[in-house]
Each structure stands twice: as structure tokens, then as C-alpha cells.
Structure 1
Amino acid sequence: MKKETRILHAGSHPERFHGAVNPPVYHVSTVLHPSVAAMETSGKTPFEGMRYGRFGTPTTFALEEAVAELEGGHRSVATSSGLAGITGALMAFLKAGDHLLMVDTAYFPTRKFCDDVLSGLGVETTYYDPLIGGGITALMRPNTKVVFTESPGSLTFEVQDVPAIAMAAHAGGAIVMMDNTWGALTFQPFAKGVDISIQAATKYIVGHADAMLGVITAATPDLWLKVKSSVAAFGHSPGAEEMYLGLRGLRTLPVRLRQHAATALRLARWLEGRPEVDRVLYPPLESDPGHDLWKRDFSGACGLFGVILKPAPKAAVDAMLDGFDHFKLGFSWGGFESLVIPTTGHSIIRTASDWAPAGPSLRFHAGLEDADDLQDDLERGLERLGRGG
């Protein structure tokens, strides 16, 4: 079956729930066992079936099953946020004395976790140029346990050669993790050599800006058990309503992604032609440096892209952003709404690669509003920019 068909039914088992199309919302802490023998038996495989609410419920299992099928992995583990997914996965495979290779474009909270938490636990992090490809071999050490990727980078949109990185990492005995939130359904991580894929399900999977959720998917049973054990040990446990909202959003993900991507591409092409714009950062554009890799490895796109303006005073950029009708100022992305944030300054940190834009940089998320309305909103914003505030 095509992915668009599978996503409607993955993780759905009406026969288990009296014919209900959607799995019910299970609000569970205590799970009762019929006997001491049954309780002892369940303790031998605590992550299989129902043992305690924190380990999962039928609502949890439905979402995990669906995401694993769609990403092509063995099994998934749900967490309370995308960041919890990243930190939970890293903690499953790193201990004192280990070395981590982290992509230099990493989401800022990921970098903070590496610098503040992992360093305190005796784990050394080396940041690497996202465009390093197979050259990452030169950075591998005997104690390198994890190579972390994110493609495209969620602020500057560099596309990584994930297969080349994975080949080099595996040759050195490391596993490969990927933040696959931008790729959502359009990048198949396990077919490209990734061992652990993480999505901030808060974004496109939930899709309605109303729940915090993360999902970690593992390629093999052994990797899954390590992740599940780590996540359980740290007490990560998404709420029942959040799991349900993730399932609800998942069912419409393909059609929403197509609309987000079509609108983003139209806006990106239009912005390329504007005199106020130095460069648009969006891999589906033929002019983007990562276009060939994107075309090779991705089957589609999403609504997130960046813009580098030509030099302009901060007051003018602020006036542009403050006056938007549809592009609201807000963090996150992947919901139905259009968003924008300025990314110049503290939002972008580089220690292993160059980032020197010609002017102020912005990140846009093209929502599900009419594309004409969004383009008009951008045009009025650029007029405010040109007036200088």
C-alpha cells in the first residue's frame, strides 16, 4: 500500500475496541494483575503489554506502532516532548568516557544538553560541519559511540549526506541518530543507514499546535530495548490526551504536508526574486546548495524555510515582523498556523562551521492559510522593511 493509505490505518485495531475507528484514550496509572504469578510473569518483560501506566497504554502503543511502520523501523518509544526524545535517546547510548559527534546545526536545546549535562557526566562532545559527509571518519575516535545528524538543519537548512556519514560511523563502531522532524514522512531514515530516528511529534505529527510529544524509533529490537529502558528509567511519560492528539494528527499528515510544502515552495520562489532578499534557505529550490542531496534522499518537503535579508537596521526588521497579519511570532512549527522568528544572533551558534549571513536571518513556517494571503502578507512586510520601520 502507498504511504498515504497506510497512515490512515497504521496502529489502528478496531477489533480490539468494539469497532471504534480511533483507539480510546486510556487514562492509566495502576494496572491490576489477576494473580501473583501473572504479576511475576509481567515483570520479566515489563515493556510488553500493560504493566504500569508510565510504561505505556493501548493509546501509547497505537501511536508507537504507527510511527514505526511509517518510518520503516522496528518499534518506537513515545516521550513527553521532542527534546525528551533527543535526550532520552542520547542517554541510552552514552556513559562517562564516551565521545559524541554532534552536528553543528543542532537545535539549541540539544547543544545546551550536550554542553551542560553530558559534559558534567563525563561525555565529550565534538561538533562537526554538517557538510562533512564521509569525511567524518577523520573525527571518529575509539570511544565515539554516537554520531548525531539533523537534515536539513532546522535554522540554516544544510542537507547532510546521511548515507555517507552512516557508513563512516558504522565502520568506526558508532551508531547514527537523526533528528528527522523536518523530514517527517519524506525521509526514510533506516533505508539511509540511520539507527535511531527522533521526531518532535509536537510539530507535524500533532499538527495543531496543541500538544507536546516526541517519538524515538529504533532500527532493531536490541536498539529499541536500550532506548525503552533508558526512557523508562528517566521517567519520560507522555500524557494520554497527548498520545491521542498525536494519533489524530497523524491521520491527516500526508495531505497537510503536501499543502505546507506547496505553499512554502511558492513563497520561497517569490522571495528569491525580491530585491530585499539576499538568499532563501529551502532545499527544494534548485538554487539551494543542498538541492541535489535533497532530491536524492527525500520524497518531498515541508513548510519550514529560512530567509536571509540584505543588510537592514534592526528597527526595520522588527517593524516588518511586528506588522504581519498571518505570520505570527512564535516558536515551534508544523502546526496549521504560519509562523516567523528572527534567527540572527543567539538562536544560531556555530563552533565547527561558518555561518556569516549577509544580513538579518529569519525562519518562516508556511501554514495552511491561502497562499495568496500569505504572499500578500509578506509583500506588506517587505514594504515596511523598505521604509525602515
Structure 2
Amino acid sequence: MHWRTRLVQPQTLARGGFASLAVPTHRGSTVLFERQADVADDWRHRDKGYTYGLYGTPTALELGARVGQLEGALHTFVVPGGQAAIALVYLALCGAGSHALVPHSAYGPNKEMAAGMLKRLGIEVEAYDPLIGAGIAALIRPNTALVWTESPGSVTMEVQDVPAICEAAHARGVPVALDNTYAAGVLFDAFAHGVDISIQALTKYVGGHSDLLLGSVSVRDAAYKDRVGDTFKQLGLAVSPDDCSLALRGLQTLGLRLERLEASALEIARWLAGQPGIATVLHPALPSCPGHETWKRDFSGSASVFSVLFDDRHSARQIEAFVDALRLFKIGMSWGGVTSLALVYPALERPGRDYAGRLVRLNVGLEECADLKADLAQALTAMEQAR
């Protein structure tokens, strides 16, 4: 055999049997078959075997299986990000002429998709009060194909009565999806509380270090597995095995990180609640948060992200000065990583509420609480001096 041919089609020369604690990172698009009769193009790896790298290498499938095991799911699909997970659910369950419901407090790009692409496709998405509970029954129509929940809600942190919403929706034959990113799939048991499909931005707590983009869609039964899976295949939602490898590593420390993040965020939230100029601290574990009693009933813990509403004697410019003065808290979107973050929401839309640029979302990282309090204190001083 010519040396150039050997370069293209090498034999494996290294000894086998390498046992490692790390999951191997399998990169590949083409899957080889023993016989022509074995060739298939199907995402159902468990039944059909591997057919094409687009549907996931063993690295991605291992990540999906481990996330699904944590959530108690029948099957978990790994997708390129949290927004891809949201899109996959919408496009799997909704079609032209259908109607969906989404809480006002949902992740902003979810609502942007509703007003943009989904509207162009003839799918009507109606926003509802996140605290509506069983009252959602009055909003369900004959063509309602999906009810979205997100608990706690993005930025304003409302905790939804997910079991009541599920009961009302299921009575009308409507599936319920939950954005369960805040709970990392473990602080709230989505399927035990009646949810049909649970999504996460694995970018946040599972990744844990602000260096990857991934999402997951977990389903409770075979009917949703097939429906989501067929749409997953048609959309070509391939993921990087390298990112999956990082997420698998993140899972190993998720328990420790969540424990530390919860304790630190609660300490910072309680400290801020006692500072002058703070109107409300929106942390699900504090009574000041809408839906706090529901959180106590349904959740096993809290996470790293919460919001602070400054009182109305402060201007939007002062709030911006507060964020700009922070040193340890970096200005940035996303959350769930090891670094503390802050972001002001100057144009937050919530029916009946005008936050007037006075709402700041904080993500508490793994820094020492004493240092974070000192940083917040000096920024509060800088805010008072700004005019």
C-alpha cells in the first residue's frame, strides 16, 4: 500500500484498553456501516445504531443520557443552545393556525420568536400573567397546541404554579413545556409536577464556566420523543462534541457549585434587602418574590440569579451608574457561571408595571461574599453621588 493511502486510511496502531475517567470526545460526521443493507438515516440511535454524526456522536448522546437521567426523562435531545431548544419545542408542537401561550415573564428571545418567525409561520402566541395558575384554563382555545411555562421567570422571577397549569392544560389535551434552566433540571422536578417537555440552556449551570453554548430538550413519553425527534432531525440541530465534553465535565461539579451558589446568592440577597434605596429584592427564596409560597412547596433549593428593584427616588441614570461602578460584578448577559454578573434592564416590558430602568439582575458567582458585598457597597455609594 502506498504511503499516501496509508495516511488517508491508517490502521489503529496504539494499544487499546485505555480506561479513563473522562468521556472520550468523539468527533465525526460520517458513520461507517459493515454492509450496504445496514445503511440508514435515522436519529433513533438506540434502535437503529449510529447513522450520521449530525444526530450526535457518542459524546453528545452520553451528555443527553446523563441530563435525561437527572431529570427523569424518557429521552433528552442536545441542541446548540437554549434558544434552539425553545425553537425545537415550538416547531415540533405548533403549526400554521395553531395557538400557544407563554408567560409575560419568559426569556426575552422566546417572546421575540413569537412575535417574529412564529407569527410569519401563522402561529399565534399569546402572553399571559405568570401567576395565573389554574386560571389559564380560560385562555385555552380549541386550537391551542402548547402552553409554555418558565419558573422562576426571567428577570422578574415570578414563580409559577406549574402543577395547576399542567392540570388545566391536560384537561383540554394541551401539552405543557417548561424552561427549567433556573433549576438546572434538579431543583424542580418538572415531570413529577406534570410537565410534558422540559428544556434547559446547558450554557448556564451545566456548563458552569461561561465557555460553551448548548441546550437540552427532555421529554416524558414516547409520543413526544418521536414528534420532537423528527423535527430535531429536519432542523439539523448538530452540536459540537467538544462543547458536549465540557458540559459532561461540568456535570461532575454541578452539585457542589449549586450548593455554594445558593448559599452565596441568599446571603447577598438578604444583605441587599437591608440596604437603603432598595425597594424590593426578587429572589424566589425570599417572601418579597411573587410566588414565594409556590417556590417553598415545589422547589428543593434556589440558584444564583435574582433581581433588585431600586426605589423610585432613583433615576435610570443612577442605576446605570451603580452597574458601571461595580468591579467584581462584571457587566454581561447570561448567568450560572463562576463569575458574578450584573445587568440593568432599562426597557423591561411587564403589563401594569413600569420599572423605569430601576431593575438590576445579579448573578452571584463563586467569589467570597465579603468581597462581593464590599463591591456592591461602593457601587451603592457611587450611585447616590451620581446625578
So what's the TM-score if we normalise by structure 2? 0.92
330, 333, 336: which one aligns with 1:331: 333
Q: Distance in 2 between matches of 1:114 and 1:377?
A: 38
Give the whole-Å Cα distance in 2 for the aligned partners of 1:45 and 1:242.
20
* Structure 2 spans left out of the alignment, 5+ residues: 1-15
Summarize deviations over 1:312-354 as a string: whole Å, max 9, x none.
1233222221121111000010111000000131xx223xx43
The CA deviation at 1:221 is: 1.8
Q: Matched residues, percent identical?
A: 41
Q: Which residue of 2 aligns with 1:132?
A: 132
The 1-side partners of 2:367 and 2:129 are apart by: 36
Deviations 1:128-173 (A, max 9, x none): 1000000000001111110000000021000000000000011111
Structure 1 residue 371 corresponds to structure 2 residue 369: yes
RMSD: 1.5
Residue in 2 that maps onto 1:385: 383
* Residue 173 (structure 2) aligns with: 173
Q: 1:142 to 1:26 in 2, by over 3 A?
A: same
Could you say which residue in structure 1 is the equivalent of 2:195? 194
Paired position in structure 1 for 2:6: none
Deviation at 1:19, TM superposition (A): 2.6
Shift of 1:286: 3.0
Q: How does 1:184-263 map to 2 (within 5 A)?
A: 184=184, 185-263=186-264
**Contact persistence 1:78–1:214 (CA under 8 A):** yes
Give 1:46 deviation, angstroms.
4.5
User: Could you tell me which amino acid in structure 1 is paired with residue 70 of structure 2?
Assistant: L
Consecutive unaligned residues of structure 1, counting only runs of 5 or more, are 1-15
Aligned residue number for residue 281 of structure 2: 280
Aligned pairs (5 A) from 1:338-353: 338-345=340-347, 348-350=348-350, 353=351
TM-superposed CA distance for 1:207, in Å, is: 0.3
Distance between the aligned counterparts of 1:160 and 1:94, measured in 2? 23
Please tell me whether the aligned partners of residues 43 and 55 of structure 2 are also in contact (alpha carbons under 8 angstroms).
no
Instruction: Report how far residue 17 of structure 1 moved.
Output: 7.5
Instruction: Please give the alpha-carbon distance, in whole angstroms, between the structure 1 residues aligned to 2:323 and 2:380.
Output: 9
Deviation, structure 1 residue 44? 6.4
CA drift at 1:274: 0.8
1 CA distance for matches of 2:355 and 2:42? 55
Contact persistence 2:43–2:229 (CA under 8 A): no
Q: Secondary structure at the match of 2:374?
A: helix
Task: Describe the superposition over 1:278-331 as per-residue Cα deviations: whole angstroms up to 9, x where unpaired.
Answer: 000001013333221001000001010000001312332222211211110000
CA distance in 2, matches of 1:162, 1:268: 25
Q: Is this contact kept in 2: 1:309–1:359, CA < 8 A?
A: no
What is the 5 A alignment of 1:146-165? 146-165=146-165
Deviations along 1:206-253, one digit per CA (max 9) or x if unpaired, are 000000000000001221121121122111111111111111111111
- Does structure 2 conserve the Cα–Cα contact (< 8 Å) formed by 1:278 and 1:358? no
Contact 2:339 2:366 (C-alpha < 8 Å) held by counterparts: yes
TM-score w.r.t. structure 1 length? Answer: 0.92
**How has the CA–CA distance of structure 1 residues 81 and 201 changed in structure 2, closer, same or farther, with 3 Å as cutoff?**
same
Question: Quick check: 2:157–2:289 contact (8 Å CA) kept in 1?
Answer: no
Does the 8 A contact of 1:189 with 1:197 survive in 2? yes
Distance 2:258 2:218 in 1: 20
Give the match for residue 113 of structure 2.
113
Give per-residue Cα distances to partners, 1:163-194, cap 9 Å, x unaligned: 00000011111100000000112001000000
Distance 1:215 1:371 in 2: 31
2:8 alignment counterpart: none
CA contact (8 A) 2:41 2:52 kept: no
* AA in 1 matched with 2:335: W
Deviation at 1:45, TM superposition (A): 6.5
Pair 1:232–1:279, CA change in 2 (3 A): same
Give the letter for the 1:387 counterpart.
Answer: Q
| Alpha-carbon distance in 2 for matches of 1:356, 1:265 | 26
Kindly provide the amino acid, as one letter, of the partner of residue 314 in structure 1.
Answer: A
Q: Secondary structure of the equivalent of 1:279?
A: strand
The answer to whether the 8 A contact 1:308-1:359 is kept is no
Structure 1 residue 18, shift from structure 2 partner: 4.3
Match of 2:73 in 1: 73
Aligned residues: 368
The range that moved more, 317-326 or 25-34, is 317-326
